[in-house]
């Protein structure tokens, strides 16, 4: 019997998804509404098969929590729920240890397909991501100077890092880039992980060196 955890701040989202899973899959569905309860649910002696995590539940730019989540999850499949889709966000989700992402407003049938695909051990990305063409480089963000180490950051991640370096909050970064604040949280977490720093303050200190010649 499957055991699936739905971790999301919004009760109505959890309730609708739980009812859908109980009607279409054989198993037990557990609801949690905050980060600490998610870790505790994963530490249960009962085997968990899948965790569906809302991006708003994740502490912004906290690599310590993400590391604890991955340790507690072990081999459990992780599916991230996001407000908007992009190829960059999909790559960030994979780099953070998730096995795919779904849109919060995804259709019922597509949500079930995502869950079944993830449970089967495959990666899942919605059609909205697969149909998106790669973004061209923004005029304000030039290619790195020769010899500058970029840590493998994507264009979007470098844009986010540049704004972190300027001291902007997640909300301000979201407004500047015209993306959701929950999406910014995922990008920030990925940047911190890829730079190997402990927090956004250390990332901000590294930003001028990493982005030399790009802004």
Q: CB pairs under 8 A, 24+ apart, for 178-184?
A: 179/84, 179/86, 180/82, 180/83, 180/84, 182/54, 182/55, 182/56, 182/82, 182/83, 183/55, 183/82, 183/83, 183/84, 183/86, 183/89, 184/60, 184/160
8-state DSSP, 5: E
Number of domains present in the structure of the chain: 2
Digit-coded pLDDT (tens) for 160-198: 999 999 999 999 999 999 998 989 999 999 999 888 888
Residues 148 and 89 in one domain: no
Boundary of a domain, candidates 75, 99, 130: 130
Rounded CA-CA distance 63/41 in Å is: 20
Residues 57 and 150 in one domain: no
CA atoms within 13 A on the CB side of 102: 23
The domain spanning residue 72 has which CATH number? 3.40.50.2300
Residues 105 and 164 in one domain: no
Residues 126 and 141 in one domain: no
pTM of the model: 0.76
Domain residue limits at 17 = 2-130
Return the number of other C-beta atoms located less than 10 Å from residue 137's C-beta: 12
Residue 2: strand pairing partners: 27
The domain spanning residue 196 has which CATH number? 1.10.10.10
Digit-coded pLDDT (tens) for 99-151: 999 999 888 899 999 999 999 999 998 886 755 444 433 334 444 444 444 57
pLDDT of residue 61: 65
Residues 69 and 108 in one domain: yes
Residues 139 and 126 in one domain: no
């Amino acid at each position: 019997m499957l055991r699936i955890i739905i971790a999301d701040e919004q009760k109505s989202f959890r309730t609708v998804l739980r009812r859908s899973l109980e009607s279409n899959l054989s198993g037990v569905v557990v609801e949690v509404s905050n980060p600490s309860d998610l870790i505790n649910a994963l530490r249960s002696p009962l085997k968990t098969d899948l965790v569906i995590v809302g991006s708003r539940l994740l502490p912004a730019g906290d690599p310590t929590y993400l590391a604890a989540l991955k340790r507690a999850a072990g081999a459990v499949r992780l599916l991230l729920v996001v407000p908007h889709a992009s190829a960059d966000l999909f790559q960030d989700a994979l780099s953070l240890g998730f096995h795919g992402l779904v849109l919060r407003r995804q259709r019922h049938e597509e949500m079930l397909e995502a869950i079944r695909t993830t449970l089967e051990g495959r990666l899942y990305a919605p059609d909205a991501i697969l149909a998106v063409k790669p973004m061209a480089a923004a005029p304000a963000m030039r290619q790195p100077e020769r010899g500058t180490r970029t840590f493998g950051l994507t264009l979007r991640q470098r844009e986010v890092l540049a704004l972190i370096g300027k001291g902007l909050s997640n909300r301000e970064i979201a407004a500047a880039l015209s993306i959701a604040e929950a999406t910014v949280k995922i990008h920030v977490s990925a940047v911190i992980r890829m730079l190997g720093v402990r927090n956004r303050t250390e990332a901000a200190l590294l930003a001028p060196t990493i982005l030399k010649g790009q802004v």
